[in-house]
Amino acid sequence: MWNVTRSGAGAAADHKSNVWGGSVLAVFALIALAISFYRPGPAGFFGPIMWPRLFSILILMAGIGMVTGQLHVRNKQDFFGGVALIGLAIVAFLISIELPGMRGFAFGPGTAPRLFAGVLAGLGLIVAITGLFIDGPEGQRFTLRGVFVVGGSLVAWFGMVWLFGQFTTHYAQPLATLVLAVATFAGMHVLDNAGVRGPFMITLSIFAFAMFIRPLGLVIASFLTILICAAAADDLQMHKGRATALILLPILTFPIFVYVWPFAETAYVWPFGNVALREIVAAALAYAICFGASPDARWRETVIIAGGLTLFCAILFPWGLNLPFQLWPRFS
Amino acid sequence: MFDLLGNLALGMSVAATPTNVMLCLIGVLVGTLIGVLPGIGSLATIAMLLPITFGLPPVGALIMLAGIYYGAQYGGSTTSILVNIPGESSSVVTTLDGHQMAKQGRAGPALAIAAIGSFFAGCVATVLVAALGAPLTAMALMFGPAEYFSLMVLGLIFAVVLAKGSVLKALAMILMGLALSMIGSDLETGAERMTWGIPELSDGIGFVVVGMGVFGFGEILRNLEMKGTREIVQGKITGLMPTLPDLKASAKAIGRGTVIGSALGILPGGGAIIASFAAYTFEKRVSKTPERFGRGAIEGVAAPESANNAAAQTSFIPLLTLGIPPNPVMALMVGAMTIHGIVPGPQVMSKQPELFWGMIASMWIGNLMLVVINLPMVGIWVRLLRVPYRHLFPMIVIFCTIGIYSVNNAPFDVGMTAIFGLLGYWLAKQDFEPAPMILGFVLGPLMEENLRRAMLIARGDATVFVTRPISAMLLFIAAVMLVLAMLPMIRARREEVFTE
């Protein structure tokens, strides 16, 4: 295997087993199957519950086929797209299974959702089958890696923040800071290598706004959002930089934020439950600082723009447009 | 005819009040300002600017929104001509010849002819909307639930046929939209459907959330991943006005573009995009010198620009008369109207004539303003385009987020939008077209309601859709369209139109 020249390896791999893709499909199918048995719903094997089970089994078979190399996918884009649609339909089916269906000739609340989900699964199946038999367009490289990296990093980030929320004792916090800094540095590497720092940062900044706006008010929330968002600029090269500065800065600054911060309020971070707000704010700031420490960051420029934009928003929305916004944090 | 004039006069009296003219002006200006930014289409623009209209009375708000819509359309073509990045999907074709003209130093005439063509098309389309409003409303009153359902099926099939890429994938996208729209409380029984027990979801997912996420944020995510360079036309733009030969050459093109655009705009299912493509292809075909196209032919700017403006305007017809949004932008309009307590549909015209006709009259005023204001302001737009993207996108993101938050004052909505942004990003990776999904999402609840009613009235007899004549005809057209789009020969032609 290792003797194959690098250029040939990619082309050959397409016709061999796809362990990652296959196992993801198989695991998803197994979970869906398990839920379909666990979930309370209409009894009987041939009821509506039959459909999600049937489609789960199909996906399971496809996944096993891919891992063992029995299944040759000609057009990955169509195949995975179709399978994802089937997956969505299965989820929709499973969460609407306990809703009552037809009563006589009247529709129940569950009829239309299951009808739509069923047709969606059928169409997804056809799309996936097309992907098995018809070659995709030549020369286009299709990869879902970017989407997975962005999704995974977001989950990891919120997981980290949630974890810090658990360290309420003071002596644990510097340690937590260290973990955050190292993880940030490593995470930036991964994101930059996959070329998806932009999408990640944008999504993160939107989530940040959602978390900050209630407890912190418009001014601080906008400012932080813009800072995080600015880190998405594609002409910055995070991984080129001064690793020491990257790691040192958050270590120095994080405890300051955490200890000086006057809020002990909790914020609802969907879906991670309640987390102490100051940890989130500190993590966001640490993130922005990491970005600022990279050598080619336009640190001053970014802060000036963020400040100007924040001012503009603070004037435009509450005063110019007369919308009910709370500008400053609530000190409760 | 006399009725028509009387109605238009009523509309004028509403639209020409100083406040409403001001609102229209602000709408047009702000719409152009945002529409000029590359990568922001009219949908994202409207979603972003929606909160501006919250404090206004309904008529003023709708006039302003309509102004924003035309402004965004026009701003999109400005970007296409100057930067070679389409401001939005309906001005993709404009880049072909428009940017070439700009490179040859004729950016001025290109922009001017786009504005003039849009204005002419807008005038014609306004009259068309006014003229067709009454008869279509009368027809809408004959519609029962079965007909409504079939009409929506037809609209969705049109969206599939007119979307680019695989028909099958577009169909799947519609179903995905329909399934997503089922989230929330059931209208009749109040049962919670697919809400995962999250209270914020019991009202369903807002349209602004989905539209903004998939189109607005999804677009930004994709833009940031691609490291493209933008070539902005440098140098001063001189000679703004087109010469007499220019005008002569484009007069017919504008006329043809307007006809094609008006006709396609009325069809449910995303008219503006296909209208500009169709107008361009048609123009190239009838031209005596087709080889000039793609190298800066002024007809290649005039025809699609007139067509997309005409279509943008006539797409109000199904919304105002039948209450069915024919494209995502109109779907957003439904959302805006609902916020102001107006339920779009045939009853708007009879119950609130000043609103209906005022809005139509304001369309004309808005188009006039576009010509008068925008030509002298081209310099400002050019300067705006020189602002690097790294400064623009934080601005866009923060405005969008604040906009979404202000709709319901709900942080949850903002988070959901981020998730839908990721969804849009994934859809693009999979080569799934998001527009049919949005349309399915908007029509979903309406379709379910009418399907349920029709079945209930027919006592569970599903043949009602083919035994009632109007419904049967609509379904028949839908079936024919779908079959035609699937046929290999037509499919090849369709792809040709889109790649050209």
- Tell me the pLDDT tens digit for each residue of B205-232: 887 788 888 877 887 777 776 655 555 5
- Three-state helix/strand/coil letters over B368-390: HHHHHHHHHHHHHHHHHHHCCHH
User: Does residue B2 belong to the interface with chain A, where contact is any CB pair within 8 Å?
Assistant: no
Of B171, B225, B448, nearest to A195 by CB-CB distance is B225
Residues B295, B298, B299, B303, Cα dihedral to 10°:
110
User: Does residue B489 belong to the interface with chain A, where contact is any CB pair within 8 Å?
Assistant: no
Instruction: Name residue, tokens 């006592």.
Output: B459
Mutate to test the interface with A, among B192, B401, B427, B443 (most CBs of A within 10 A): B401
Q: Residue A277: pLDDT band by 50, 70, 90 thresholds?
A: low
Closest-approach residue (CA) in chain A for B189: A109
* Cβ-based contacts of A235 with chain B (< 8 Å): 390
Q: Looking at per-residue confidence, does B254 or A182 come out higher? A: B254
Pairing mode, if any, of strands A266-269 and A273-276?
A: antiparallel
Q: Are A107 and B456 inside 8 Å of each other by CB?
A: yes
| CA torsion through residues B16, B19, B25, B28, sign | negative
User: Does residue B498 belong to the interface with chain A, where contact is any CB pair within 8 Å?
Assistant: no
Mutate to test the interface with A, among B54, B68, B176 (most CBs of A within 10 A): B176
Q: Are B414 and A206 inside 8 Å of each other by CB?
A: yes
Q: Residue A1: pLDDT band by 50, 70, 90 thresholds?
A: very low
CA distances (Å), A190 to each of A4, A151, A277, in order? Answer: 27, 13, 27
Closest-approach residue (CA) in chain B for A193: B225
- A106, β-bridge pairs: A103
Q: Could you tell me if B462 and B475 are in contact, meaning their C-beta atoms sit under 8 angstroms apart?
A: no
Which pair of tokens denotes residue B358? Answer: 């005022």
Q: Could you tell me if B208 and B404 are in contact, meaning their C-beta atoms sit under 8 angstroms apart?
A: yes
Q: Are B179 and A92 inside 8 Å of each other by CB?
A: yes
Chain B nearest C-alpha distance from A332 (Å): 20
Q: Looking at per-residue confidence, does A265 or B432 come out higher? A: B432
- Provide the phi-psi class of B312: left if phi over 0, else alpha when psi is between -120 and 50, else beta: alpha
Compute the distance between CA of residue B385 and CA of residue B35 in angstroms, rounded to an integer: 11
Instruction: Quick: pLDDT tens for B320-347.
Output: 777 777 777 787 787 778 777 777 777 7
Is the predicted pLDDT of residue A279 greater than 50, yes or no? yes
Chain B nearest C-alpha distance from A171 (Å): 33
Q: How confident is the model at residue A112, as a pLDDT?
A: 83
Q: Residue A256: pLDDT band by 50, 70, 90 thresholds?
A: low
Q: Could you tell me if A82 and A125 are in contact, meaning their C-beta atoms sit under 8 angstroms apart?
A: yes
Share above pLDDT 90 across residues of chain B, in percent, rounded to a whole number: 0
* Cβ-based contacts of A99 with chain B (< 8 Å): 186, 191, 193
| Average model confidence (pLDDT) across chain A | 72
According to DSSP, residue B229 is labeled P
Chain A nearest C-alpha distance from B168 (Å): 7
Q: Are A127 and B172 inside 8 Å of each other by CB?
A: yes
Mutate to test the interface with B, among A91, A103, A107, A196 (most CBs of B within 10 A): A107
Q: How confident is the model at residue A150, as a pLDDT?
A: 81
Instruction: Name residue, tokens 């107008």.
Output: B279
Q: Are A96 and B432 inside 8 Å of each other by CB?
A: no
HSE toward the beta carbon, residue B116, CA cutoff 13 A: 23
∠ CA B261-B97-B293, nearest 5°, is 90
A32-36 CB contacts, 8 Å cutoff, 24+ apart = A32/A56, A32/A59, A32/A87, A32/A90, A32/A91, A32/A94, A33/A57, A33/A60, A35/A94, A36/A94, A36/A97
Compute the distance between CA of residue A224 and CA of residue B156 in angstroms, rounded to an integer: 41
Q: How confident is the model at residue B259, as a pLDDT?
A: 86
Of B54, B422, B460, nearest to A105 by CB-CB distance is B460
Closest-approach residue (CA) in chain B for A222: B398
Instruction: Name residue, tokens 């099939």.
Output: B157
| CA torsion through residues B374, B375, B380, B383, sign | positive
Q: How far is CA A131 from the centre of its chain?
A: 26
Q: Are A203 and B227 inside 8 Å of each other by CB?
A: no
Q: Which of A53-67, B259-273, B294-308 has the highest mean pLDDT?
A: A53-67
Of B54, B168, B182, nearest to A126 by CB-CB distance is B168
Q: Which amino acid is at A46?
A: F
Instruction: Quick: pLDDT tens for B392-450.
Output: 778 888 888 888 887 778 888 888 888 898 898 888 888 887 878 888 888 888 888 88
ipTM of the complex: 0.81
Instruction: Name residue, tokens 């576009």.
Output: B370
Query: Which of B:39-58 have CB within 8 Å of A?
Result: 51-52, 54-55
Chain A nearest C-alpha distance from B452 (Å): 6
Burial tier of A255 (Cβ tally within 10 Å: 0-12, 13-18, 19+): middle
Chain A nearest C-alpha distance from B317 (Å): 28
Instruction: Quick: pLDDT tens for B476-494.
Output: 888 888 887 777 655 555 5
Of A151, A202, A324, nearest to B397 by CB-CB distance is A202
Chain B nearest C-alpha distance from A303 (Å): 11
B180-184, B267-271, B369-373, B460-464: least confidently modelled range: B267-271
Query: Which of B:237-296 have CB within 8 Å of A?
Result: none
Residues A29, A35, A41, A46, Cα dihedral to 10°:
30
Of A100, A151, A321, nearest to B422 by CB-CB distance is A151
A5-9, A264-268, B106-110, B175-179: least confidently modelled range: A5-9
Compute the distance between CA of residue A116 and CA of residue A89 in angstroms, rounded to an integer: 8
- A269, β-bridge pairs: A273
Chain A nearest C-alpha distance from B314 (Å): 30
pTM of the model: 0.81
Of B175, B224, B417, nearest to A120 by CB-CB distance is B175
* Cβ-based contacts of B179 with chain A (< 8 Å): 88-89, 92, 113, 116-117, 120
- Provide the phi-psi class of A330: left if phi over 0, else alpha when psi is between -120 and 50, else beta: beta
Q: How confident is the model at residue A178, as a pLDDT?
A: 66
According to DSSP, residue A71 is labeled P
As a residue count, chain A comes to 332
Helices (H) and strands (E) in chain A, counts: 11, 2
Closest-approach residue (CA) in chain A for B441: A116
Q: Are A225 and B397 inside 8 Å of each other by CB?
A: yes
Instruction: Quick: pLDDT tens for B82-106.
Output: 776 665 666 677 777 877 787 777 7
Mutate to test the interface with B, among A116, A127, A193 (most CBs of B within 10 A): A116
Chain A nearest C-alpha distance from B341 (Å): 18
Which pair of tokens denotes residue A37? Answer: 């048995």
Q: Are A229 and B189 inside 8 Å of each other by CB?
A: no
Q: How confident is the model at residue B19, as a pLDDT?
A: 84
Mutate to test the interface with B, among A209, A227, A301 (most CBs of B within 10 A): A209
Q: Rounded to the nearest 5°, which phi and psi values hold at B433?
A: -80, 120
Is the predicted pLDDT of residue B269 greater than 70, yes or no? no
A123-132, A176-185, B485-494: least confidently modelled range: B485-494
Of A89, A210, A321, nearest to B52 by CB-CB distance is A321
Instruction: Name residue, tokens 């690098």.
Output: A6
Q: Which amino acid is at A94?
A: L
Query: Which of B:425-464 have CB within 8 Å of A?
Result: 425-426, 429-432, 444, 448, 451-452, 455-456, 459-461
Instruction: Name residue, tokens 């389309």.
Output: B125
* Cβ-based contacts of A131 with chain B (< 8 Å): none
Q: How confident is the model at residue B163, as a pLDDT?
A: 66
Q: Residue A7: pLDDT band by 50, 70, 90 thresholds?
A: very low
| CA torsion through residues B63, B417, B435, A109, sign | negative
Does the bond joining A271 to the residue before it have cis omega, within 30 degrees of 0?
Answer: yes
Q: What is the DSSP string of B65-121?
A: HHHHHHHHHHHHHHHHHHHSS-SSGGGHHHHHHHHHHHHTT-HHHHHHHHHHHHHHH
Q: Residue A136: pLDDT band by 50, 70, 90 thresholds?
A: low
Is the predicted pLDDT of residue A2 greater than 50, yes or no? no
Q: Residue A5: pLDDT band by 50, 70, 90 thresholds?
A: very low
Q: Could you tell me if A227 and A204 are in contact, meaning their C-beta atoms sit under 8 angstroms apart?
A: no
Is the predicted pLDDT of residue A8 greater than 50, yes or no? no
Closest-approach residue (CA) in chain B for A324: B406
Q: Are A203 and B418 inside 8 Å of each other by CB?
A: yes
Q: Residue A12: pLDDT band by 50, 70, 90 thresholds?
A: very low
- Three-state helix/strand/coil letters over B478-500: HHHHHHHHHCHHHHHHHHHHHHC
| Average model confidence (pLDDT) across chain B | 78
Compute the distance between CA of residue A176 and CA of residue A156 in angstroms, rounded to an integer: 15
Pairing mode, if any, of strands A273-276 and B184-185?
A: unpaired
* Cβ-based contacts of A234 with chain B (< 8 Å): 224, 227, 390
CB contacts < 8 A, A to B, total 197
Q: Are A234 and B176 inside 8 Å of each other by CB?
A: no
Mutate to test the interface with A, among B201, B209, B398 (most CBs of A within 10 A): B398
Instruction: Quick: pLDDT tens for A28-77.
Output: 888 888 887 777 666 566 667 778 888 888 888 888 888 887 777 777 78
As a residue count, chain B comes to 500
Q: Looking at per-residue confidence, does A173 or A31 come out higher? A: A31
Burial tier of B309 (Cβ tally within 10 Å: 0-12, 13-18, 19+): buried
* Cβ-based contacts of A213 with chain B (< 8 Å): 405, 411, 414
